[in-house]
Amino acid sequence: MELLDQILLGFQTALSPVNLVYCFVGVVLGTVIGLLPGLGSATGVALLLPLTLTLEPVTALIMLAGIYYGTQYGATISSVLIATPGDSATVVTTIEGYRLARKGRAGPALAIAAIASFLAGTIGIVLLMTLAPVFAAFALDFGPPEMAALMVLGLAGVIGFTGSSRAKGLAMAAFGLALATVGIDPSTGVERFTFGNVQLLGGIGFLEVVIGLFAVAEVMSAVHRGGSEPIRTRFRDMLLSREDWRRSRGAIARGGILGFFLGVLPGAGATLASFFSYEMERRFSKRRDEFGKGAIEGVAGPEAANNAAVNGAFVPTLTLGIPGSGTTAVLLGAFLLFGVQPGPLLLEEQPQLVWGLIASFYVGNLILLLLNLPLAPVFASILRLRYGLLYPLILLLCFVGAYAVENRMWGVWIAFVFGVIGYFMKRYDYPAAPVILGLILGPMLEKALMQTSSMGGGDFGIFLQRPIALALFALAAAVILGPLFVRGGALLAGRLAPGSGQSRNPEGG
């Protein structure tokens, strides 16, 4: 069957009335789940999986996939409006999105997030339809040594989140890595830093820390400042302007391509893609001074990256039977539950299911755009509420979300403790993003290093035999050392410039 015939078959399947209705239901449920802190896409898909057991396999998978990418946008809404990421992939969006909201520009932030998600989703779907087998082969070349190098590159990117003081940012990244070591050692099964507390055996929960450092800390800081008035802004200021679009379109294209490539790699996922995209935009932007203060491209790039990564994660899932993310691991279970075996033969054996599912991604993204673009100013108007009403509601959502992660009060206490820590971090200008980056990448790096050590018989010299890993290490070194060389070169040029004190002729007075 020709590629064009397969694509047409896919859209014919996705646009059937039944599949269209369930796709709509999936994206709406996903948006609602994303709004609730602590649930996330993997939990949402797992919770609603039983509702699909009576449906046809293609219909059920279309609905579950709709929940997956619907969650990404719902999480963006809470990240922008109340600094409470509903999913780990939208943590970076909080950095610029919430600051835009505080300036009365929540509407444009939400609108560009919807547009970026749709356009990047389109990029991802085109790549998925045309190059899935090629990317699957590329993903197979990406073993533990390459993943370890990728994690090191991700940690090198922490420099972009250090704010005014690099030392403070690096200290916070180290704090995040230290938090990631709490729990059970994955290689030996020995307890680490639990201090006899059974609750710590499973480690310190990522989402609980995010809720505390961002949302609870923001409420505490706002109460400490006092006197905040609800945001008053004109309706037209909540609409996306031509300048916003001009600044964002390049970020959307770059984020879409980068996100898809990272999504293809098993274990990388949308969270890492969003961090990488933000760092890339910050590094190459002509308005670097606006980052951290409300740069709209800092919303567009990460949102594009996390949506494209969702599509990319389906490449190894469909073609190799290897989940590309935590949520696709749950979806892989759904495939098996319906008697569908993902792998190299799936495209040949069940083309209607595969191409119908892929086409539904585009349909679902279009539904999300049509739903959320007109509603962006409406969502933004929530910030007009008096803070005496808004802050208790935010804290309620935070603590319910922290409880919902594992259905125990321990999560609530973790969120509260890190809320207090986050409050003092804000007060003394310590950035929160490096903590989150360290907490995300720490376990992934440890796992990759452990597997690499096993592959090399305890000898890390295996890195020298892996060209892709060496290239990633070189890129990480360039990211870390590049700014130092540029700054040193600029200082040297300034000293040697005509008229400078250092270059003045000593006999010339």
* In the chain, domain spans: 1-226+237-483
Residue whose pair of structure tokens reads 């274990």 in the numeric block: 267
Q: Are 112 and 294 in contact (CB under 8 A)?
A: no
Q: Give the CA count within 13 Å in the CB-facing half-sphere of 153.
A: 25
Q: Identify the band that residue 509 occupies on the pLDDT scale cut at 50, 70 and 90.
A: very low
Average pLDDT for 24-41? 80
Average pLDDT for 172-185? 88
* pTM listed for this prediction: 0.71
Residue whose pair of structure tokens reads 């990522």 in the numeric block: 206
Question: Phi, psi at residue 184, to the nearest 5°?
Answer: -100, 130
Closest CA to 26 of 70, 78, 84: 70
b/e sequence 341-352, b meaning 16+ C-beta within 10 Å: ebeeebbeebbe
Residue 61: alpha-carbon gap to chain centroid: 23
Instruction: State both tokens at 56.
Output: 């046809």
pLDDT (tens digit, 9 = 90+) per residue, 251-293?
899 988 888 888 877 666 777 888 888 888 887 777 877 887 8
Q: What angle do CA 126, 131, 134 make, to 5 degrees?
A: 160
Helix (H, G, I), strand (E, B) or coil at 71: helix
Other residues' Cβ atoms within 10 Å of the Cβ of residue 224: 10
The residue ranking higher by pLDDT, 210 or 278, is 278
Alpha carbon distance 299, 75 (integer Å) = 13
Element (H, E) at 192: strand 191-192
Q: Identify the band that residue 47 occupies on the pLDDT scale cut at 50, 70 and 90.
A: confident
Q: Are 263 and 269 in contact (CB under 8 A)?
A: yes
Alpha carbon distance 434, 157 (integer Å) = 9
Q: What angle do CA 407, 408, 414 make, to 5 degrees?
A: 120
Instruction: State both tokens at 133.
Output: 């087998």
Contacts of 117 (CB under 8 A, 6+ apart): 69, 72, 73, 76, 303, 304, 307, 365, 368, 369
**Position 189 pLDDT exceeds 50:** yes
Alpha carbon distance 414, 296 (integer Å) = 32
Say which range, 41-45, 229-233, 348-352, 469-473, has the weakest mean pLDDT: 229-233
Residue 393, pLDDT score: 79
Alpha carbon distance 288, 486 (integer Å) = 16
Helix (H, G, I), strand (E, B) or coil at 183: strand
Helix (H, G, I), strand (E, B) or coil at 184: strand
Average pLDDT for 351-359? 84
Longest dimension (CA), the chain: 93
Other residues' Cβ atoms within 10 Å of the Cβ of residue 299: 35
